[in-house]
């Protein structure tokens, strides 16, 4: 591909801790900075939630090739944060306050299989293997079959971080046509398409890792990921979903950080405040991988950690 830089990424080991390596002479800067959350003075009293109308599917796309083997894990910028559907809450009796000695990844897998939404800015980690017999060049990555849906009813599962927060590329899921973007200054929303300058080479017999650092502040959305690639001079599109075969689902946090608040209208803030979850199971203390203390709180208690 002329005038574009071929990217080769170093393999990543943790689910939510990835450091972008250089592509050619350029490096991708860390786009995730942790905002310190100050407690609010009181729980928020909100107006009734406005009626929700879900959209039709936009950016439709069908698969035309399947030469790549793709695995995914689906988390958030803040770690393992999800909304468990209200009708599935009783399926998780192990969510008991105190020292957590359970298998958080097993709980997350079950929650996603039962329809959980990622809660906050999504992160999608993919490992892409090429055993097709030919070299493959990925020339585009975008969200397809997108739909704006109602904020989910349910219970907040907030395991939080058990590692760090960085990504290889960004994607704004609030956009009408979300596509891969170059990492920009953490204080600004990325706008420059990643594949205007780069391609990702996946030689035959090789595996490459890919991390999408998602931005989402306004609406709950569902989507698939489409990979456009070249093989033997022909262009194909491959559709990527969760490991369980379901579409990706993500809901905006009710506690947006400073950068997200700047992108929201007053009506967006009011709508997010009006939606109420039934409670939260969250990390109260984290002093290393050997000790995680969890607590059960009401939704109003959770909202007291919001900055707005």
Give the pTM. 0.81
CATH level 3 topology of 5-9+55-89+104-253? Jelly Rolls (2.60.120)
Q: What integer pLDDT is reported at residue 219 of this predicted model?
A: 94
Q: What integer pLDDT is reported at residue 270 of this predicted model?
A: 85
Q: What integer pLDDT is reported at residue 160 of this predicted model?
A: 83
Q: What integer pLDDT is reported at residue 263 of this predicted model?
A: 84
Q: What integer pLDDT is reported at residue 42 of this predicted model?
A: 39
Q: DSSP string of the chain?
A: -TTSEEE-PPP--SSS---PPPBTTB-PPP---PPPPPPPSSPPP-PPPPP--PPPPBS--------EEEEEEEEETTBEEEEEEGGGGGG-TT--SEE--S-HHHHHHHHHHTTPEEESSEEEEEEEEE-SSS-EEEEEEEEEEEEEEPPPPEEEEEEE-SS----SEEEETTSSS-BEE----TTS---SBGGGTEEEEE-TT-EEEEEEEEE--S-EEEEEEEEEEEETTEEEEEEE--TTSPPEEEE--SS--HHHHHT--HHHHHHHHH---S-EEEEEEE-STT-EEEEEE-HHHHHTT---
Q: What integer pLDDT is reported at residue 259 of this predicted model?
A: 78
Q: What integer pLDDT is reported at residue 98 of this predicted model?
A: 86
Q: What integer pLDDT is reported at residue 173 of this predicted model?
A: 96
pLDDT tens, the chain, 308 aa long? 445 666 554 333 222 222 233 333 333 333 333 333 333 333 445 566 777 889 999 999 999 999 999 999 999 988 899 999 999 999 999 998 888 877 788 999 999 999 999 999 999 999 999 999 999 999 999 999 999 999 999 999 998 875 433 337 999 999 999 999 998 776 677 899 999 999 999 999 999 999 999 999 999 999 999 999 999 999 999 999 999 999 999 999 998 888 788 889 888 988 888 899 999 999 886 545 566 789 999 999 998 877 65
């Amino acid at each position: 591909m002329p005038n574009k830089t071929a990217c080769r990424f170093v393999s990543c080991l943790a689910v939510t801790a990835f450091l972008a390596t250089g592509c050619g002479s350029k490096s991708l800067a860390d786009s995730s900075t942790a905002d310190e959350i100050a407690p609010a003075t009181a729980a928020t009293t909100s107006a009734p939630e406005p009626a929700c109308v879900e959209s039709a599917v936009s950016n439709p796309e069908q698969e035309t090739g399947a030469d790549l083997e793709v695995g995914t894990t689906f988390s958030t910028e803040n770690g393992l944060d999800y909304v468990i559907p209200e009708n599935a809450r009783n399926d998780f009796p192990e969510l008991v306050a105190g020292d957590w000695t359970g298998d958080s990844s097993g709980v997350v897998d079950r929650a996603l299989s039962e329809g959980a939404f990622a809660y906050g800015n999504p992160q999608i980690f993919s490992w892409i293997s090429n055993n097709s017999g030919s070299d493959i060049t990925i020339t585009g990555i975008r969200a397809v079959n997108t739909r704006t849906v109602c904020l989910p009813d349910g219970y907040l599962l907030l395991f939080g971080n058990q590692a760090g927060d960085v990504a290889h590329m960004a994607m704004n899921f609030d956009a009408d046509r979300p596509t891969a973007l170059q990492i920009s200054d953490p204080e600004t929303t990325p706008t420059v398409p990643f594949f205007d300058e780069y391609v990702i080479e996946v030689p035959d017999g090789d595996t490459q890792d890919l991390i999408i650092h998602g931005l989402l502040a306004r609406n709950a959305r569902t989507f698939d990921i489409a990979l456009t690639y070249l093989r033997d001079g022909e262009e194909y599109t491959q559709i990527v979903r969760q490991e369980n075969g379901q579409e990706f689902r993500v809901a905006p946090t009710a506690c947006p950080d400073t950068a997200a608040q700047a992108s929201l209208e007053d009506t967006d803030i009011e709508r997010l405040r009006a939606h109420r979850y039934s409670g939260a199971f969250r990390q109260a203390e984290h002093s290393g991988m050997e000790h995680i203390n969890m607590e059960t709180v009401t939704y109003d208690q959770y909202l007291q950690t919001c900055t707005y």
